[in-house]
Every structure is written in structure tokens, then in C-alpha cells.
Copies of this chain bind each other. A is one copy, B any other.
Amino acid sequence: MPNESGGGGHRAAPVHTDPAEVSVLTALSAVADPVRLQLIRELAGSDDWSRSCGSFDVPVGKAALSHHFSVLRGAGLVEQRDQGPRRVNRLRREEFEARFPGLLDLLLRE
């Protein structure tokens, strides 16, 4: 989990996992959750890097949200970067699709 650490109050940079290195069980566990499904769907409908972590319509607190994003990064689904005080997101649509063909479509079509 990211934590506050010196350097002008910037958090530690988020750690990412390449979708190519994600197991099918890890990917399925990441998407088999209503909150993460909602995050993925909102991200899919947004421009890359346009959404900060606090901008999603999900009924969870900050710590839980941070955990959910960590799981999504670990499954190769989401990339994050810090822009000043905001942590912004993009869905790794092409890379994830290359690793798990059709899975994102399944999540997004209903």
C-alpha cells in the first residue's frame, strides 16, 4: 500500500504488475468483486489519466479504495501515476486484452 514518505509529501510511487505475468486465477480474483468491477467500468468509459482515485462512485472508504486499486494494479488492469496531489488512472486495456482475450469485454458488456 502506498504510504506518505518525505520528499514534499509525495507518496511512494505505485507498484505495477505486467499483465503478461499475471495468472488467470489472479485476474479472475481481481475482477470478481463488485467494487472493482465498478472501478473498471468507470475507467473504461473515461479518457486515460482523466480519473483520480477519489472520483469514482463506489461506497467504500479511502483505505479500502486504496486496497482495491492495489489489487487492480497487481492484476495488470490499472496503471497509476501521481500528478501533484492527485493519483490518476488508466485502464490497461490493450495489454490486458492481449493476455486475457475477451475478459474485459465480458465485464464491460453488461
Contacts and interface: CB of A to CB of B under 8 A. Distances in A.
Contacts of A32: 25, 28-29, 31-32
Interface string A88-110: 00000000000011110111001
Counting every copy of the chain, the complex holds: 2
Contacts of A105: 102
A1 to B, nearest CB: 22
A84 interface: no
Interface residues of A, number: 16
A32 B106 CA distance: 15
Interface of A: 24-25, 28-29, 31-32, 34, 37, 100-103, 105-107, 110
